[in-house]
Structure 1
């Protein structure tokens, strides 16, 4: 505190000596007047630049004779220091009785103004922000994942008699209309499975004979991350993973969820059924194998752009999408489409993006694995690095409007102002994103561990936190006046 007061005293003294308009503010002036003068000269913390990023005409040193090094700049530095002190003091008290361990980090104008990090904690689904950042570092945001239909024969008199391969491209959003309609939030972003059948029919195929082969060789065929407990698999927190995936690998969804034993083979079986519905006579052997090179492509499905897949993953907290995207990261970065390869690559990529932050521990893409660990400082720095105006963070749920926040904060003043990724595991509540306040943008990350089971405590602490942050950046005259009074 003594060092802070000394620094602010120096700043006030500098401000007093630079211009005649400030010279009247001497250190023997009343503390109230000093605070008021600092307030009157300060530049808003998040004020936008003048047009074209240049000085306004009235501020041009060539026309006014005012030096570029102006006293008006010193109060801004003073304000920032005071703001950091005020937020730090308030948040330290505000979070003192939260469950342990926990962390909280707040950034304003690309600067950390508060952090309570001690050790890394379990992040839950805010882990998907790491997956998103790593994916867009190795895959062009406009790129689309392609599912291809190949054959070694030709259509003759309406008959396709030979071998047909369906080669998975890792698209996590291939869905039938009925499966998409079963989701609570609508509309669901999807790659329509029906389009593939329509394309084959459009070739003039009236009869399909021979073999229909599923090729899922793009990724490893382990159906779930090997570190997951069996209860995650039993409860289908994610569908079984495959590079050739349909409906998240879920075969039954009208009453209770059931999963495919072999999702790629089920994909081609469903394709055969869709062809039959369209009047095609289908008599094929369904198997799984890798397609040889040199086959002719006769149809394809293209996914939405990768940026839209990432936005869907964040907005809906889609675990299956996250795990398949992680395998794509592994394939692009390490040549292996597996969960361990993707996890290692994701940790390396985001660590290179934020070399001054502590290294996160990455075990999966969705955040379900309790071996994932990170600090709130890292998470807030990542959000700041991605940019609150970026396309990727446009996918974050909006309080009381979209995604996993559509049913929350409806009567809260933060409704429509908060964009954040949610996270929930047994004993873990997390929230990370940003708030548009009346005076600027506040980036934050909050992770609570050891939250009592079957309680709303974690949610209530999130609600009170975002309410508190609506006051930031600090515009509290009384707080600054008190701080300056303490210096004088």
Structure 2
């Protein structure tokens, strides 16, 4: 409390809510309105990825198929929810999605199975409902961070597969079908629903779920987070919509003993300004992920959530213009956390090793703050935890 008192009083933080927990003992060390649900921005992804790990097999790989259509010259691209499929040439690893399947692999398989393709259709029926969520602004899809959500696309819709901040293409599933059609010297045939017993001509699979979770956390990947939320919905018998993913995420967390009181979700990524999450839940999830083996029944599943957490000053969304001020430089390399940024919102949830070598988990949520001053202040807050202990 004494270590946080000064940094937590920084006016740049606006309205601050937060919590710090010792994951070994489970003791709450600091609570600042931690039960009040506030706008989380991208720390929403902590809930989405946790629910995915709790509801699904960690080795789950998402499948993309091309099947035979109604007539011999027609094939159908069938979306299985993998948005990480890459348009990079075979032999070129995606820098954003290591282990991603390749569009060219699908094309090569089709050429072998059916050399006379004339038309390529796309089946986007796995995901239902609206392609943008309540609380999204008109300019959010397409943008440099999101596009309309669909059950198949290349590189999560990025125009440049190697640039995380690349502008996204609109209606990326249909765009991918057109790309495949051109590679097969065929024409695009619009949307269709593949017959259930259709002959599979080609199939590729994503990296395992644990890798998809890491990518989601490190890149703060909005499109991938939404795809995972829909997989949670499908795994629990809900409809694969924004609402279905949100309801499934909350139910899975509640069923595994987490306190979801006050949680309101409109999406799985945190783009929506309608989302509300208490800091207490973020620290509960982080504490379960960081707990010693055997202490918490959810630890084995949630441990994978920590692997992709950005490292302060080193990786992901904490690599650029973060932990650079005199008040936060000492946190570089020691703080690992999921970021969240919207207009007026700065959040950070993760863990830090204090001077005694003890792990502390935290969630700090600043609403009503300006972006850069708010970020610097929240980074300083996390860094102050590094100074805890007796050393």
- TM-score, with length taken from structure 2: 0.85
Match of 1:271 among 175, 180, 184: 180
Distance 1:385 1:303 in 2: 27
1:113 lines up with 2:29 in the alignment:
yes
1:172 lines up with 2:83 in the alignment:
yes
* Structure 2 match to 1:91: 4
For residues 76-475 of structure 1, what are the structure 2 equivalents within 5 Å? 88-98=1-11, 99-108=13-22, 109=24, 110-117=26-33, 119-151=36-68, 161-177=72-88, 186=95, 188-189=97-98, 190-203=100-113, 205-209=114-118, 211-220=119-128, 222-233=130-141, 235-250=143-158, 257=167, 259-260=169-170, 262-275=171-184, 282-284=185-187, 286-356=189-259, 358-387=261-290, 390-407=303-320, 408-409=322-323, 412-439=329-356, 440-452=358-370, 456-472=372-388, 474-475=389-390
* Structure 2 match to 1:32: none
Distance 1:232 1:316 in 2: 17
Deviation of residue 133 (structure 1)? 0.7
The runs of 5 or more residues in structure 2 that have no matched partner are 293-302
Distance 2:324 2:6 in 1: 27
- Contact 2:21-2:283 within 8 A present in 1 as well: yes
Specify whether residues 301 and 244 from structure 1 end up closer, same or farther in structure 2 by C-alpha distance, changes over 3 A only: same
Specify whether residues 234 and 216 from structure 1 end up closer, same or farther in structure 2 by C-alpha distance, changes over 3 A only: closer
Q: CA offsets, 1:66-125, max 9 Å, x none?
A: xxxxxxxxxxxxxxxxxxxxxx34434542344442112111132211110162211111
- TM-score, with length taken from structure 1: 0.69
- Identify the range of structure 1 (162-171 vs 262-271) with the bigger mean alpha-carbon deviation: 262-271
Q: CA offsets, 1:350-404, max 9 Å, x none?
A: 2333445634211111111111112212111111112268222111111222111
Distance 1:469 1:251 in 2: 40
Q: What SS is found at the alignment partner of 1:264?
A: helix
Q: What SS is found at the alignment partner of 1:330?
A: helix
- Structure with higher Rg: it is 1
Q: What SS is found at the alignment partner of 1:207?
A: coil
- Contact 1:265-1:286 within 8 A present in 2 as well: no
- Contact 1:166-1:215 within 8 A present in 2 as well: yes
Higher relative contact order (CA 8 A, sep 6+): 2
Q: CA offsets, 1:145-192, max 9 Å, x none?
A: 101121169xxxxxx9433122110002012118xx9x9xx4543322
- Identify the range of structure 1 (101-110 vs 90-99) with the bigger mean alpha-carbon deviation: 90-99
The runs of 5 or more residues in structure 1 that have no matched partner are 1-87, 154-159, 276-281, 477-488
Q: What SS is found at the alignment partner of 1:140?
A: coil
Q: What SS is found at the alignment partner of 2:37?
A: coil
- Contact 2:178-2:187 within 8 A present in 1 as well: no
Specify whether residues 345 and 219 from structure 1 end up closer, same or farther in structure 2 by C-alpha distance, changes over 3 A only: same
Q: What SS is found at the alignment partner of 1:177?
A: coil
- Contact 2:52-2:229 within 8 A present in 1 as well: yes
